[in-house]
Amino acid sequence: MTKRLIAIGFIFVCTSVAWAILGGTIFTRTYSLDAKAENRVASTWGTPQNQAPPSASFTRIVPRSEVTVENGKKTTKTIQESVTTPLPLESSAIDVALELEHRQKGLLWYSTYKVGFSGLYGIRNTSDKEEAVDFYLKFPTAQAMYDDLTFKVDGNAVPVTSSDGAALGRIKVAAGKTAQLAVGYRSQGLNEWRYSFGGQEVAQVRDFSLKMKTNFKDIDFPDNTLSPSHKLETNSGWDLTWSYKNLLSGYQIAMVMPEKLQPGPLAGRISLFAPVSLFFFFFLMLIITTMRGIELHPMNYFFLAAAFFSFHLLLAYLVDHVSIHLAFAISAAISVFLVVSYLRLVVGMHFASREAALAQFIYLVMFSYAFFLKGFTGLAITIGSVVTLFVVMQVTGRIRWADRFSLKPPDQPTGKLNREPGAIATTLN
C-alpha cells in the first residue's frame, strides 16, 4: 500500500509540474504579444481620449515704445507688438454618447468604444470693440479619426483649418457679445474617455453641464475624478449628468470602459490551480476504492491525471478561436468523457458514471468554473473544500484504518472452499 501511495504521489507531482509549465506558457503567450496587440488595436481603432474645452482669443497689434542708448545718445523707437488676449468661457453644455464594442486580439479582449461628442459653449468678447476671434478646439488624441465634424458660431458654419491636432476657426464678434460655439464629432477610442477642464491645472468652470449616455451598465469612475451629480439607469445602460454652477477643481470627468472576461489570464489561473482539483479527486478516489475494496493501480491514476490535464490543454488552445465559455464547456465534456470511458473498462460503468463522474464534475469542472465568479472564487472553492472534508469525515468516521491498510490478507469466510494447488480443503472457523 505504501508503495502505491508513493507512486500516486509521484504521478501527482509530475502532473503538477506539467500544469505549471502550461500555465507559464499561457501567460507568456498572453503578455509577450500584449504590447504589439494593443498597438495594433490603437492603430486601427484609436487610443484613450481626453477632451479639453475649446479656447478663444483675439490678437491686436499694439504699438510699444522702446528706448535704446548708443554712444551716450538715447533713441526712442516705436515697435508694433502682437498681443493675444484669451476670452473667458461663460457656459458649457455637453452631450456624450459612449458605445462599448469589445475587440479581441490573441488571448486578450480590448475595451474599444465609439463616442459621439457635441458641445455648446458660450464665449464672451471682453473687448470694447468688435474683434476677429480665433476659436480653437484641441482634439482628444492624435491617434483617432473624427467624422461628421461640426464647428459653428451662432448657428453659422465656420471655415475650419487643422493644425497640431486641433481645429481652428475665425469669426468677428461684437464688443461685449457672448458667442455660442457649437462643436461636435464622432470618433473611436480605447479603454477610457475623459473630459478635462484645464489640463493638469486647477480650473474654474461656470454654468457647466455634461450629459453622458452609455450602452453598458458596468460603469466605473477612476480615482481622482468627479462623480456624476445625477444617475439614471436605462434598459441598455446609464444616463449620467455632471452639473455645476461655479466649480473650481483640478479633477476631471472620466469613464473607464468595462473589461470583458480575459480568456488568456483566466485559462492561465485555472491551469496553475489545477493541482488542487486533482488532489481532491485522487483523495476521494482513494477513500472510495479503499472502502469498497476496489483496486486501482498507479497506472490507472496516471491515465486519470492525463485526462484531467487534457481539460486544461484543450482550454489553453481553444480560447484563441472560440468564446471562453464554449471552450470551457468543450474541454470539460471531453475530459469527463475520457475519465468515464476509461474507468468503465477498469472497474465498471456503475462506478465510472456515478462516483467518478460526480467527483470530476465537482473538483475539476466546478472548481475551475469558480474562476468565472469575479470576487467570489476563493470563497466558492473554500466552501467546496470544507463541505468535502465534512462529508468524508462523516462517512469514514467509523472505519478502522489500521485494518484497511494492513498488509495481512483477510480471513477466509466460514464455509468457503479454499483451493490450494494439488488439494481441496474446507476451512471452517
Going along the chain from its start, the domains and CATH numbers come out as 2-32+261-404 (no CATH), 46-256 (2.60.40)
- pLDDT for residue 72 is more than 80: no
CB 63 within 8 A of CB 81: yes
* Number of other CB atoms surrounding residue 187 within 10 Å: 22
Q: CA separation (Å) from 399 to 279, 292, 294?
A: 22, 12, 16
pLDDT at position 426 is: 37
pLDDT at position 405 is: 65
Query: What average pLDDT does this structure show over 23-37?
Result: 80
- pLDDT for residue 377 is more than 50: yes
pLDDT at position 83 is: 83
pLDDT per position as a tens digit, 141-151: 888 889 999 99
Q: Which three cell numbers stand for residue 164?
A: 497640431
pLDDT at position 328 is: 95
| Residue 403 to residue 325: CA distance in whole angstroms | 46
| Residue 350 to residue 382: CA distance in whole angstroms | 29
Q: CA separation (Å) from 152 to 90, 132, 148, 166, 173?
A: 17, 15, 13, 15, 13
pLDDT per position as a tens digit, 161-183: 887 788 999 999 999 899 999 99
pLDDT at position 269 is: 93
The vertex-426 CA angle with 423 and 429, nearest 5°, equals 140
pLDDT at position 304 is: 95
Task: Say how many residues make up the chain.
Answer: 429
pLDDT per position as a tens digit, 279-313: 999 999 988 888 888 888 999 999 999 999 999 99
| Residue 215 to residue 101: CA distance in whole angstroms | 10
- pLDDT for residue 249 is more than 70: yes
pLDDT at position 200 is: 64
Q: Which three cell numbers stand for residue 43?
A: 492603430
pLDDT per position as a tens digit, 379-401: 999 998 999 889 888 888 887 77
| Residue 18 to residue 102: CA distance in whole angstroms | 33
Mean pLDDT score of the chain = 86
The residue type at 8: I
The residue type at 375: G
Query: What average pLDDT does this structure show over 220-242?
Result: 92
- Residue 361 DSSP one-character state: I
pLDDT at position 197 is: 86
CA-closest candidate to residue 178, choices 198, 153, 203:
153
CB 114 within 8 A of CB 186: yes
Query: What average pLDDT does this structure show over 46-52?
Result: 91
CA-closest candidate to residue 74, choices 65, 64, 63, 61:
65
- pLDDT for residue 7 is more than 80: yes
Which residues have CB under 8 Å from 226's CB, separation 6+?
242, 249, 251, 252, 253
- pLDDT for residue 418 is more than 60: no
* Angle between the N-to-C axes of helices 263-292 and 324-346, in degrees from 0 to 180, rounded to the nearest 10: 20
What is the phi/psi pair of residue 283, to 5°?
Answer: -60, -45
DSSP H helical ranges for 293-366: 298-318, 324-346, 349-351, 357-360
| Residue 417 to residue 429: CA distance in whole angstroms | 12
